[in-house]
Structure 1
């Protein structure tokens, strides 16, 4: 193995969530490379996800429960500081984005090209596996992707949610010249708008209840916006279609909210034979207009994280500048104020909040390598 220097790397500072919702800073051991294909990454920036906040506030997501101290964070970029002897394509000093879920690569899901469904997945910040709000993080080299030279380490944190959007849009099928409704104008919803347009959708309508978020949507691919009102889902669907001139309904609906009213509205707003993709998670059991699904022969699909090719496609969209990330990061926090970042996301302030890693150079984080 090679390293930046022969002398030992400094202690691995970590931001740790304890059962019950308390945070502490801890000094942990620097990870060793378990394989000659592993790399060690100095984490420079980490974007906060709604799941991180949910673990903090509620202590669980479904069957995943915070029963022991855990490091959160899974949307991270950084710099390679150590490489295993068999690592190819990466070198010390490379700026990379981390894909935070490590599959087994041997089960029938992995071998069938659906590794996101691997039952042995080690996903960062999902109990019992620690996440990336640390100084140093070990990862297999195949889960590290070089950043385009014009993309900063700060904006590189958005490649993980961009890959979620890519996977969701691929689940919907061909989008060329199609009309697409995107429910939710948070980070993933906005990126779904951007990817849908990059995939050739002729009409992309962003739907939300917050006017400021809808204003942002017009910068990231939406051709129209609609502010959901207090009327029934059926009436909101009628009003939305009338406002956008799509009386026959949308070809595709993507829901990034998990809210029952949005699911129902989206199904009512679909054309016959349309496709509905569930992107965001809300309550585990919802009431849906099954009659509409059957009457229209709607195809209802789930979407879970990302799979083979999604990260590479996301980076390709950035390389070609068909998708831009400028302005999506609205709040930046030093590592010492990590808990403030969690509070900021919980308050729904801005679009995306980023925490800089321990001892990170914020100037380094905000520029590309051009």
Structure 2
């Protein structure tokens, strides 16, 4: 069985004796998109099967997206649906601390398989995973009707956050973008290019010290800066700006479940998938390149080349 493995800072298509995964249900994989964290893992020199943005087909023919936030299932966080806070989460990071699913087949717990809604092609289904990351961050920051939002960083996560903010009721969404192809994509999704003034919610989707500082510059009185970045060590913050505005900074990790307001719990990745199904233009805008499994090496090269115009690169399995 073929899979894409990271070895010594590069990827290779390899033959495996058995499907990767943590055990459980066997899924025929159909699409795996390449995240910036996959590229980061390569730089760290990890030796794993890559891939955590995954969609495939169950044995009964159901198209599913893999909920890549794995957990123990037993702690208080897991029982409350906040499994992104489970202390075992980082010990089971797909493509990092355990094998990912960029392979012809993948084994995963059944409770981490979320059915794709009608209207979302399984070849686009892997996009639901990164969408859920931005969706969770915006929800954590109380995005809703009459909320103004600014997104700093126009990679795939930032652009998906633009769509998610509108879906959650934001009346205005501004986008800070660097590259012409990102500007074009942002405009296609309805964003105002360039943030001016101050905003109720500012999402740092770039994950750098500079983008966090810019997010603080844009937050309004009692506004919320929310960041999906994994910073290592201390982070300098303009406390004076936050202090005088009574603004706050929220770290956001992964995604989880929440009460949708009627007493029923819903997975955020399911909400993200529903948005993608209702608006096919999002996937059409974000997925700029597709490669077969045999060409995964080239797929990673394109995904890591800023001049390529890539936003999300999908490996079809």
After TM superposition, the score normalised by the length of structure 2 is 0.89
Alignment of 1:204-219 (within 5 A): 204-219=173-188
After superposition, the C-alpha distances for 1:222-245 in whole angstroms (9 at most, x for unaligned) are: 1x111xxxxxxxxxxxxx42xxxx
Secondary structure (helix, strand or coil) at the match of 1:271 reads strand
**Contact residue 17 and residue 71 of structure 1 kept, 8 A:** yes
Alignment of 1:1-370 (within 5 A): 12-18=1-7, 20-31=8-19, 38-59=24-45, 66=46, 69-81=47-59, 92-121=60-89, 122-127=92-97, 129-222=98-191, 224-226=192-194, 240-241=195-196, 246=197, 249-281=198-230, 284-308=233-257, 309-321=267-279, 324-348=282-306, 349=308, 350-357=310-317
**Contact residue 28 and residue 56 of structure 2 kept, 8 A:** yes
**Contact residue 257 and residue 281 of structure 1 kept, 8 A:** no
**Cα distance 1:323–1:271, how it changes in 2: closer, same or farther (>3 A)?**
farther
For structure 1, the residue ranges without an aligned partner over 5 or more in a row are: 1-11, 60-65, 82-91, 227-239, 358-370
Secondary structure (helix, strand or coil) at the match of 1:251 reads strand
After superposition, the C-alpha distances for 1:53-89 in whole angstroms (9 at most, x for unaligned) are: 1111233xxxxxx2xx3111111111113xxxxxxxx
State the alpha-carbon separation in 2 of the partners of residues 31 and 205 from structure 1: 43
Structure 1 position 281, deviation (Å): 3.8
Partner of 2:264: none
**Cα distance 1:217–1:103, how it changes in 2: closer, same or farther (>3 A)?**
same
State the alpha-carbon separation in 1 of the partners of residues 143 and 119 from structure 2: 29
CA RMSD, Structure 1 to Structure 2 (Å): 2.1
**Cα distance 1:22–1:165, how it changes in 2: closer, same or farther (>3 A)?**
closer
State the alpha-carbon separation in 2 of the partners of residues 265 and 22 from structure 1: 33
**Contact residue 28 and residue 105 of structure 2 kept, 8 A:** yes
State the alpha-carbon separation in 2 of the partners of residues 101 and 257 from structure 1: 21
After superposition, the C-alpha distances for 1:9-37 in whole angstroms (9 at most, x for unaligned) are: xxx2222112x3143333223349988xx
For structure 2, the residue ranges without an aligned partner over 5 or more in a row are: 258-266
**Contact residue 98 and residue 144 of structure 1 kept, 8 A:** yes
Structure 1 position 321, deviation (Å): 3.8
Paired residue total: 304
After superposition, the C-alpha distances for 1:161-181 in whole angstroms (9 at most, x for unaligned) are: 111111011111142111111
- Shift >4 Å, 4+ stretches: 31-35
Rg comparison, structure with higher value? 1
**Cα distance 1:206–1:117, how it changes in 2: closer, same or farther (>3 A)?**
same
After TM superposition, the score normalised by the length of structure 1 is 0.77
Structure 1 position 283, deviation (Å): 6.0
**Cα distance 1:323–1:282, how it changes in 2: closer, same or farther (>3 A)?**
farther
State the alpha-carbon separation in 2 of the partners of residues 26 and 337 from structure 1: 12
State the alpha-carbon separation in 2 of the partners of residues 266 and 257 from structure 1: 10
Structure 1 position 46, deviation (Å): 0.5
After superposition, the C-alpha distances for 1:192-211 in whole angstroms (9 at most, x for unaligned) are: 10011111111100002213
Q: Which has the higher helix share?
A: 2
Structure 1 position 270, deviation (Å): 1.4
**Cα distance 1:282–1:323, how it changes in 2: closer, same or farther (>3 A)?**
farther
State the alpha-carbon separation in 2 of the partners of residues 325 and 32 from structure 1: 27
Structure 1 position 322, deviation (Å): 9.3
